[in-house]
Each structure stands twice: as structure tokens, then as C-alpha cells.
Amino acid sequence: AQPSAPQPIPAPLRDLQWGQLNFLHTTDTHGWLAGHLQEPFYSADWGDYVSFATRMREKAESEGRDLLLVDTGDRVEGNGLYDSSRPQGIYLSDILKQQHIDVLSSGNHELYKQNTSEAEFLTTVPNFRGNYLASNIDIIDPRTQELVPLAPRFKKFTTQKQGIRILAFGFLFDFTGNYKNTVVQPVEETIKEEWFQEAIQDRDVDLFLVVGHVPVRSKEYTVIFKEIRNVHWDTPIQFFGGHAHIRDYVKYDSKAYGLASGRFMETIGFISIDGLGTEKAGVAVAAPTFSRTYIDNNLFSFLHHADLDESRFHMEHGQNVSRMIEDARKALHLDIVHGCAPKDLWMTRVPYPSDKNIYSWLENEVLPDSLRDKSRHGTPALAIVNTGAIRFDIFKGPFTQDTTFIISPFTNGFRYIKDVPRETAERVLDVLNSQPRVLAVTQPGDDYRNELAPPIQRNRDHDMIATYNFVPEDKIKFEALLHQVPLSSEPSRPNILPGYMTRDDGGDDGDDTIHSPIPTFRVPNCIQASIQPDLDSTDSDVKREAVPAEPEKVDLVYVDFIERHMIEAAKFSGLDVDFKKESAVYMPGGRLTDLILTWVKENWKCVHE
């Protein structure tokens, strides 16, 4: 773990159930390879994971079992270790490749920008020599300008110990926000292609392995499942998914399951399968059994599951990887303190709007204080930001260089349409917030396609007030509780602390660590800040009188990432503008991340005791 990481907290653990074939799974790590430096339950780093995977493989192999590692993408964007370097990610790929990963795939974040996908193609794909699969992604090779597969479409291999014959694919969901140097073919079309149809005709397969940056409950995985089942009515299929940032386990039928292993290096997913056929034995006679566990990413859990004490757990290689992370963090000055947060600010743990909600802070304080375009002096504005632009909570205490990118990693700036009737501008927000039904999302159950809200909310349509003695509507009691006791801890069981409590198709015994629940409240797709016109201090009284209390026309400002949604929302709101011709950059060079950082430096001075 990193030197500044908190010690893991001992907590009651559930044991793993090992099988013939076992997997460790990461997804949506988003650069968090240093682990969580303010949260003990997720404080292990990528170096610890290297040691853990090696020890688990040794343990499996000593018992004649196999262990494979899978990663399902979105390894980039979301943490200072990736986003704060120029160019971005110069340290990350060398650290990532220190782990032996047997099958990996691309996420959408690897494809938003040209330089990210090219780095993937020229560095990460070769780093993982044949293990990186891209069943539905092509890229324009920057050396030849030809459109080529990002990586091999599939691979077949046999496990070392058991001789299990595996046919593996690597998919991305039907993503449409990629930069134009890549092509993401819809999954529904890919599975009709000749190469896929030929591949699944193979009869000498003991397990189909579908890894992908695809929610495990999605139409994409449903069609892949059905297509394989059309040809193989009972061959076991294991899916690994991602993108939704949640822990989840889905049963497609009695021989096909899917696992999603959370986000941000909080979770190492574990799957075991028993009763598979093998190269020697041929087709299985027994029905396979599947088991899943979500391991909290900390050394207490790792030592327990590897069945080792600390002196025998750590490996020189793992410790070197931890040092690589430490050196990169130092080179990037990630521990520099820019200010001190006077309180915790939560994305979804408290209701929106409220005093401790990060979006309320953004719309009431940061944006009104910071967002100004000199050329629009004297014109009020309404500024719209998608809630998905904010990626993490702020904890009370030091706000570091790392925190800056953890909460706001993206390079998005602002654009605007000038002189919009205020009523119309306000209607645009209402339309954006009436998603997922109005815009972009076409089918019920398709909420994971909603690009505006935070990923964790995509699969949820209700608040989950998870503590034991209050109800969702009871906000007063909830606020009181927040101030009285550590959030959600149960007084009668002091070593049960707040964390993941997952209910999935396997029941509610999937989390390795027994936690008490954390409440989650829904937030809107977008928030809106009211920006008052800039007034000179000398003649402000005069000018204030000149500005009507409720001006008729405002600048409609929006974070540039949501432009395609603004275009649609404008149509529904009666705003007849051509965004291509009539929108312009607002506050040139003003990126959301920089506005937040400048505000923190000015407003959250650290008071040294």
C-alpha cells in the first residue's frame, strides 16, 4: 500500500469458495492504482494486487486449480495518477502492465479522445501480448491511416492445470461518444459477422468467456448470450462486465452467469466454477456450479483470502510496483495541499439539494463565484453542468492535487448561446432532467445509456435509504442521524462499518466484508447555476439598480460535453437555434476542473492549529 494509505480495518469476512477454474476481476479502475488514501476498506494499491494475484495463483495451482485475471476497461480518466500528467497517462501504462492479466478489453473512456485510443493501440495492446481483445472496435492506425481492429477479435486457449478449453471475446457496449478515429460496431451487428458465427461453431469448447465493458444487465449481453445459446444449448458461459460502476451478479440460465466488480479499485471480483469439461475428460458430466465474491480492496481481505500473514504475503515485484506508484505520485505532486475542505461533500449519500451535497456546493458557490466571460460583461447567465461530470465525494480535510482530478478529471470547458429568454433557458434544464425517457434513451431498462447522470445511478430508479431506523421521506431525521453517529454504523455491532451491501441474483452474501449499509439518493441529470452579471465595485450601486430583478434575456451556458443533449433539449424547449453556428466558447480556457481548483484555493484556506 502507499505510505499515506490508512491501515485496513479488521472486519468480519466471508470465505471464498474455490473451484476448478477461478477468476479475479477488476473493472472501471479509472487510474485509482494507488488505492484509496482516505478510505481504509479500499486502501490496497496495484502493487498489493500484483502480490495478491500471484499468491492466489500459487494457492490455486498447488491444489491443481486454475486462476485467471480479467479486466474490463475504463482504466483511464478519474485520478491524478492518470489525468494530471501531460500528456495524460505517461505513468499509468507501465504500472498497469506489471500485473499479468489473461483477458482484457477496452472501455468507453479509452475511446473519448484520439490520443487515448492511440496510446491504447500502440502501448497497452502490445503490453498485454494477445490478451487484449476488441471484438467490436476498430481504429485508424496512426502510422498507416488504415482502419484496423484495435486488438484481436477473440482468442482460444487451454488452462494450464485443468486443461479447460476457453473461447474468449472482448466487447464494448454500443458506445457512440467515441472520437472519430475509432469505430465501435453495435454488438447486435458484430454477432452476425462471419468471424463471430464461425468462432462460436467450435465444438471443442468447455467454457465461453465473454469479457466486456458492458453492463451485465444489458441488451448487449442478452443478445450475445442468446446467440451463443442458439449454437451451444448447454455449454457454460461466464460473462464479466463493467461500466455501471456497481457490484452485480446476473444469472442468464443455470450455466451462464455475469459478474460486475464495481469501480475505482474498490472491488476485486472473484468467480469460481466447478464441474466444467476439460480437454482430457471431454464434456462435463456434472452440472457446473458457480460462486461469486466481491473482495474489498484492502490488505486485511487479501491476507485472509490468500491465507498468509503479512511477512509471507508481500512479493518483491508487488512492492516494486507500489514504489513505482509512489514515485509517480511524487513526480506529479499529487499530495500538494491546495486547501482544506471544511466538511464532507457527498454526491449521493445525502439528498440533493442540501448543505452537504457536492452539487449544491457547485451550483450555489463555485459556479456563481467563478464562471464569468469578460466579453459578456453585464449579461446574466444560467449555467448547466451534467452531474456525471463530478466523479467522487470530497472528504473534510486536505484538498490535494489528487483530489482535484478525483472529483473532476475531465478536460471539459463551457459553451453558450447568447440572449436566450430566461423562461426558455429554464425549460432546457427541465427537459434535460426529464431524461432518461425524453432524450437518448429509447427503451425501458436502458438507463445505462443515460450519459448525463453519474454512472452509479444509471441502474437505479429510486433512493435507497439504507440505515435501519428511518424512511426516505424523513429528511430531518436523516440529517439528525448524520450528525449524531458515524453514518450507518450499528451501535450494537461496533466492528460492522459502512460499506457495500450487495443484493444480486446470487442473494445477499456476495460481499466478502460484512458491512452496514450506506444510503444513496438520486440526483438530477443536470444542475443549473445562476450567474449574476459582473459589476465594478466603484459604481456597483448604480449598476445594480440598472439591472432588473429578473432580466428577460440570459446567456445559456453549458459544459461542452453535453452539447448533443443540449441540441435535443433545445428542440423540446422551443429554443430555435443552430448550435453549430450560434454557440460559442464561454470563458475561453475556463475548464470546470480549473474553476473548482481556483475556488478551493481562494475559499478553503487551511487553518493550522
Ligand X SMILES: O=c1ccn([C@@H]2O[C@H](COP(=O)(O)O)[C@@H](O)[C@H]2O)c(=O)[nH]1
Least spacing, CB of residue 413 vs ligand X, in Å: 10
- Nearest-angstrom CA–CA distance, 414 and 590: 7
| 110 in contact with ligand X (CB under 6 A) | no
Q: Which of 49, 561, 586, 599 binds ligand X (CB under 6 A)?
A: 561
CB-based contacts of 54, cutoff 8 Å, min separation 6: 315, 317, 318
Which residue is at the shortest CB distance from ligand X? 388
Least spacing, CB of residue 383 vs ligand X, in Å: 14
| Residues 240-279 close enough to bind ligand X by CB under 6 A | 243
Region of 417-425, 448-456, 565-573, 577-585 interacting with ligand X (CB under 6 A): 448-456
Evaluate the omega torsion of the peptide bond into residue 351 and state whether it is cis, within 30 degrees of 0.
no
Distances, alpha carbon 126 to alpha carbons 119, 160, 172, 510, in Å:
10, 23, 19, 35
Region of 104-112, 220-228, 274-282, 538-546 interacting with ligand X (CB under 6 A): 104-112
Burial of 504 (0-12, 13-18, 19+ CB in 10 A): buried
- Nearest-angstrom CA–CA distance, 384 and 185: 31
CB-based contacts of 114, cutoff 8 Å, min separation 6: 179, 181
- Nearest-angstrom CA–CA distance, 106 and 99: 16
| 296 in contact with ligand X (CB under 6 A) | no
Return the DSSP state at 395.
-
Region of 58-66, 107-115, 538-546, 575-583 interacting with ligand X (CB under 6 A): 107-115
Least spacing, CB of residue 307 vs ligand X, in Å: 34
Q: Which of 65, 109, 292, 418 binds ligand X (CB under 6 A)?
A: 109
Burial 209-247 (b: 16+ CB within 10 A, else e): bbbbbbbbbbbbbebbbebbbeebeebbbbbbbbbbbbb
| 467 in contact with ligand X (CB under 6 A) | no
CB-based contacts of 603, cutoff 8 Å, min separation 6: 339, 365, 369
CB-based contacts of 479, cutoff 8 Å, min separation 6: 354
- Nearest-angstrom CA–CA distance, 425 and 420: 6
Query: In the structure grid, which three cell numbers stand for residue 283, read together?
Result: 464434456
| CB distance 529 to 364 below 8 Å | yes
| Residues 22-61 close enough to bind ligand X by CB under 6 A | 28
Q: Which of 66, 451, 511, 555 binds ligand X (CB under 6 A)?
A: 451
Least spacing, CB of residue 194 vs ligand X, in Å: 30
- Nearest-angstrom CA–CA distance, 469 and 241: 34
Least spacing, CB of residue 359 vs ligand X, in Å: 13
Burial 573-590 (b: 16+ CB within 10 A, else e): bebebeeeeebeebbeeb
Least spacing, CB of residue 241 vs ligand X, in Å: 13
Least spacing, CB of residue 96 vs ligand X, in Å: 17
Q: Which of 39, 45, 74, 447 binds ligand X (CB under 6 A)?
A: 74
Least spacing, CB of residue 387 vs ligand X, in Å: 8
3-state secondary structure of 174: coil
For ligand X, the closer CB: 151 or 390:
390
Q: Which of 19, 380, 388, 413 binds ligand X (CB under 6 A)?
A: 388
| 436 in contact with ligand X (CB under 6 A) | no
Least spacing, CB of residue 28 vs ligand X, in Å: 6
Distances, alpha carbon 329 to alpha carbons 42, 408, 511, 521, in Å:
18, 18, 30, 33
For ligand X, the closer CB: 31 or 47:
31
Question: Both ends of the chain: CA-CA distance in Å?
Answer: 29
- Nearest-angstrom CA–CA distance, 108 and 554: 35
Between helix 46-62 and helix 316-331 the angle, nearest 10°, is 160
| CB distance 136 to 185 below 8 Å | yes
For ligand X, the closer CB: 88 or 235:
88
CB-based contacts of 62, cutoff 8 Å, min separation 6: none
Residues forming a β-bridge with 171: 212
Region of 105-113, 154-162, 276-284, 288-296 interacting with ligand X (CB under 6 A): 105-113
Least spacing, CB of residue 390 vs ligand X, in Å: 8
Count of residues that interact with ligand X, criterion CB under 6 A: 15
Region of 130-138, 386-394, 471-479, 496-504 interacting with ligand X (CB under 6 A): 386-394
Binding characters for ligand X, 407-426, by CB under 6 A (x = yes): ---x-x--------------
Least spacing, CB of residue 148 vs ligand X, in Å: 24
For ligand X, the closer CB: 116 or 190:
116
| 528 in contact with ligand X (CB under 6 A) | no
For ligand X, the closer CB: 258 or 454:
454
| 399 in contact with ligand X (CB under 6 A) | no
For ligand X, the closer CB: 72 or 412:
412
Least spacing, CB of residue 242 vs ligand X, in Å: 9
For ligand X, the closer CB: 50 or 244:
244
Q: E strands of 254-402, at which residues?
A: 256-261, 267-274, 289-296, 337-341, 381-386, 397-400
Least spacing, CB of residue 233 vs ligand X, in Å: 34
Per CB under 6 A, residues contacting ligand X are 28, 74, 108-109, 112, 243, 386, 388-389, 410, 412, 451-452, 455, 561
